[in-house]
Structure 1
Amino acid sequence: MFQLPLSKRTVGVVTRKDAKMAAGYTLFNASRETYLIDEDGQLVHQWRSCRNVFTSYLLPSGNLLRDGTVALHSPGFQVGGAGGVVEEVDWDNRQVWVFDFYPYQQTLAHHDLEPLANGHVLVMVWERKTKQQALDAGRRPDLIADEGIWNDLIIELKPEGSSATRVWQWSMWDHLIQDFCPSLPHFGDVSAHPELFDINICPVAGKGAQRNKTLAQEGMDKNCLGLAFWKQPGKTGEKDWLHINSISHDPVRDQIALGLHNAGEVVIIDHSTTTQEASSHEGGQRGKGGDILYRFGNPAMCRQGTLADQFLFCSHHAVFIRGAPGEGNVLIFNNGRAPDRLFSTVEEYELADSHGNFSPYTGPQAPVWSYGEPCGKYGSFYCTHISGARRLVNGNTLVIMGPQGILFEITPEGEEVWRYINPVQADCEHYVAAVRQGDFRAEGKFSLFTAMRYERSYPGLLQDGKPRQLQSGRYLEA
């Protein structure tokens, strides 16, 4: 394809400032395809799955770690973010190992993965709890859908042969508190125990109203997608009451950060525990077992403040920064919400103690760096859901505007130095089409769940110490 000047492009790479951008290759997924593109948007490698892919990582070995959704075959988990399969394939897309949550009835992987330096993988997993189990744990009856609610597990998989085994597990169900019924388990003073999560946290009208507060009224309504949400105060109408949407591991502190969409919080837990310790309140390097070491974003969730103190709104993609400026800090895509915060920001938070010895609610209260302007100002952008950000080795930040299917890179000063408009249109099950260069994207699904940037010297892009032979010359845009 003839290389058009940037000024004439409508899709693909439309902004490129080589002197200021972080050179390297960008990895992203569209339906069943995983693409690796260069700085100009030329395809250099591609993997194809038999399932839709949310998240993928190029490993130092050159293999690809990815998830796969089985939502159509898991009637109990047919919601956004449903996965079900974790697998590793080699550079030529040959399967190395796979872990399948079949029969998809009691548990299901969802949203995100985190590869560890030792070759293991952390996976977020929904676990079905019946209505009676929720009642027995102290959940208020009016806050339980008839089908029960979902707990969240974090499991660690160790690849063995063509599959993997579970070698570690953490469960939110082991770290709950409630002040509803003294005769039931977990009863206590919620405000005195921020290391525990209140099982009766129930944002009014659930996930839908966290993104749009106008839905939190009496009765039922539908959003622009035709999806019905509860508008009755005190009801969620959702089984996925936690909606954890991201996971990140800090290898220095050996801790895990989880992003909680509905609560508007990031919580950090200890990974240095055994599974037995992770189910208790003692053990591990910090002596707290699996309790929450640290949490921030919405102090009202543990009654350390009010909703007026909330500063994370439907946030996504909370990740530890390692190997880049901001070392040890947490980078977050703060989505915002309608109608009072119709703009998104990318924010970097410095944690209270570099060694991870936190007290559960000591801050931070303000970011050390942020990007994004309020609605109506130059530089403002708004993503209702998904989305994310990655800190790059040169100090720039790669921003993923998920619903819009746009990637852009900014300097620490906020100058945009690279922008990619995804030309690949896909539906729920398969690749559909690509927009031609010179045309504009009309209606259709171009969304991107996440993306990664790898510098050219990254080990996964080398073979026998030399750069891999990468194809070039073809753009995804037709």
Structure 2
Amino acid sequence: MIKCRLSFQVLRTGLSLITVEIVQNQEDTSLFFFYRYCFQFQDYVMRCMYTITRYSPVKLHKIFIEKYKGIDMEAIKKCFSASGIFLCVGIAVSAYEVSQGPTELIQYDPSRAYEGYTLFSPMLGRNTYLIDMQGQVINMWSHPEPWVRSDAREHARLLEDGTLLRAYGSPNGQTPSALKAGLFQIVDWDGEVVWEYENPREGYSAHHDFRMIWNPKLGERTIMYITSREISHEEAIRLGVDPGLRENYASRPDGLIEIDLKGNIIWEWNISDHLVQDVNPASSNYGVIKEHPERLDPNFGTGVSGDWIHANAFDFNESLDHAVINNSTFSEFYVIDHGATFLVGDPEGSIELAAGRAGDFVYRWGNSCVYDSGECPSMTNEGMSTSNGHQQVFFSHDIQWITSR
């Protein structure tokens, strides 16, 4: 029987030294670990994105293969997959939360870095940190128990007045997602809650990204966030999803919701209203895929999932009054005309406009193969890539407007 055991040691520098052991025929040991954001256990080695690790992924590979070359690697892979652990080594942030010791500046080149501050919330951590360019903690916000207890992807944004907009998994969440049902708070510099909002609608789950924006038509600040909406198998079929690809199409199409600071929903957009498909002629969105780049083909590919676009991020351009949202599933992003679909004082009219033609994509980019207007990537039977085709973006997890400085 093969088991996985992970141990770590906090060093004086604030770095953590992680040891992974493969245990054969031994009782379970408790796992105490921290993780940030890692690639999956691939090629039987840990590959981490965090740059301050003591060892590079290549060296980790050599160490791992040398130490465990006599062990059944398939069993090891299953062990890690079954435990559901995404590991990352050398995480200074997590070590800091344990030791409360001083942080250490690893590298700083003023000629190549913008002056400013960095705000971050370590995954599975209890705090959000604001640090300066020397790595010193300027402020720390501690979070309530649901932040820690949930499997939320902790996230926070520093607002212009020095308050913190944060979100975490609500205990009332109905579906598994990065933010559960979505509980949002604004807290002051000292961590006192000055505003709170919880998504009130059943079947809707906020996830991944959110931000405070300036609504130019309304002339005030609002909050916009990514949300998924649960739809049934029957509704998905009515929308033109190919029934021959899966037995159950209960789905979670993503979209955007905007609320005012009184907690009222004032605008909403969802990808399920902007589809084109060539499977079901009886559906109103039936058409030729290539002729409708302003809409999404939900049947693209061979294994259509219930997570249609898996939006990880969005951004808002206040000058254009446009939103942009990414699609990590199809490796694209879409620009949406918020201004053309927002009516002041008329939330129902705004939502209706956003669900219609005015809410179709103004622009899309990343993978023209998706709408039958470019060469698709090609692979061998073994899954090895031979050509990227015309695809420009690959499993993107962020999208930002670039403004001049």
- Normalization by structure 1: what TM-score? 0.54
Tell me which of 245, 248, 260 is aligned to 1:158. 260
Paired residues of 2:181 and 2:198 also in contact (CA < 8 A): no
User: SS where residue 319 of structure 2 aligns?
Assistant: coil
Is 2:396 the partner of 1:315? yes
Structure 1 equivalent of residue 380 of structure 2: none
Gaps of 5+ in 2: 1-11, 15-51, 55-89, 93-103, 215-219, 343-349, 377-388
Structure 2 equivalent of residue 304 of structure 1: 373
Q: Residues of 2 paired with 1:294 and 1:261: CA distance? A: 16
AA matched with 1:98: E
More contact order relative to length (CA 8 Å, sep ≥ 6): 1
Is 2:292 the partner of 1:193? yes
Paired residues of 1:67 and 1:83 also in contact (CA < 8 A): no
Q: Residues of 2 paired with 1:83 and 1:13: CA distance? A: 37
Supply the RMSD in Å over aligned alpha carbons.
Answer: 2.6
Paired residues of 1:261 and 1:316 also in contact (CA < 8 A): yes
Q: Residues of 2 paired with 1:158 and 1:144: CA distance? A: 39
Q: Per residue, is there more helix in 1 or in 2?
A: 2
Alignment of 1:235-384 (within 5 A): 235-236=303-304, 238-272=305-339, 273-274=341-342, 275=350, 276-281=352-357, 289-307=358-376, 308-322=389-403, 324=405
Paired residues of 2:168 and 2:179 also in contact (CA < 8 A): no
Structure 1 equivalent of residue 280 of structure 2: 181
Q: Per residue, is there more strand in 1 or in 2?
A: 1
1:168–1:102 CA distance, 2 compared to 1 (3 A): closer
Structure 1 equivalent of residue 67 of structure 2: none
Q: Using the TM superposition, give the Cα deviation of residue 35 of structure 1 relative to its aligned residue in structure 2, in angstroms.
A: 0.3
Structure 2 equivalent of residue 24 of structure 1: 116
Q: Residues of 2 paired with 1:155 and 1:302: CA distance? A: 26
Alignment of 1:376-455 (within 5 A): none
Is 2:77 the partner of 1:77? no
Paired residues of 1:115 and 1:122 also in contact (CA < 8 A): yes
Q: Residues of 1 paired with 2:373 and 2:126: CA distance? A: 44
Structure 2 equivalent of residue 15 of structure 1: 107
Q: Using the TM superposition, give the Cα deviation of residue 173 of structure 1 relative to its aligned residue in structure 2, in angstroms.
A: 1.7
Structure 1 equivalent of residue 244 of structure 2: 142
Q: Deviations over 1:41-84 (max 9, x none)?
A: 111101122215532111111111111124x754x532456562
Structure 2 equivalent of residue 167 of structure 1: 266
1:144–1:33 CA distance, 2 compared to 1 (3 A): farther
Tell me which of 43, 50, 54 is aligned to 2:154. 54
Q: Residues of 1 paired with 2:106 and 2:181: CA distance? A: 32
1:98–1:81 CA distance, 2 compared to 1 (3 A): closer
Q: Using the TM superposition, give the Cα deviation of residue 241 of structure 1 relative to its aligned residue in structure 2, in angstroms.
A: 2.0
1:19–1:265 CA distance, 2 compared to 1 (3 A): closer
1:139–1:15 CA distance, 2 compared to 1 (3 A): same
Q: Using the TM superposition, give the Cα deviation of residue 130 of structure 1 relative to its aligned residue in structure 2, in angstroms.
A: 0.3
Q: Using the TM superposition, give the Cα deviation of residue 95 of structure 1 relative to its aligned residue in structure 2, in angstroms.
A: 1.4
Q: Residues of 2 paired with 1:261 and 1:124: CA distance? A: 14
Paired residues of 1:33 and 1:53 also in contact (CA < 8 A): no
Gaps of 5+ in 1: 204-233, 282-288, 325-478
Paired residues of 2:229 and 2:254 also in contact (CA < 8 A): yes
Q: Deviations over 1:65-123 (max 9, x none)?
A: 111124x754x5324565622221111211122221257x4001011012213321111
1:292–1:145 CA distance, 2 compared to 1 (3 A): farther
Q: Residues of 2 paired with 1:128 and 1:53: CA distance? A: 20
Q: Residues of 2 paired with 1:19 and 1:243: CA distance? A: 37
Tell me which of 64, 84, 90 is aligned to 2:164. 64
Structure 2 equivalent of residue 127 of structure 1: 229
Q: Residues of 2 paired with 1:128 and 1:142: CA distance? A: 21
Identical pairs, percent: 28
User: SS where residue 262 of structure 1 aligns?
Assistant: coil
AA matched with 1:242: I
Tell me which of 68, 81, 88 is aligned to 2:186. 88
Q: Residues of 1 paired with 2:190 and 2:110: CA distance? A: 30
Consecutive aligned runs of 4 or more in structure 1 exceeding 3 Å deviation: 9-12, 79-83, 142-145
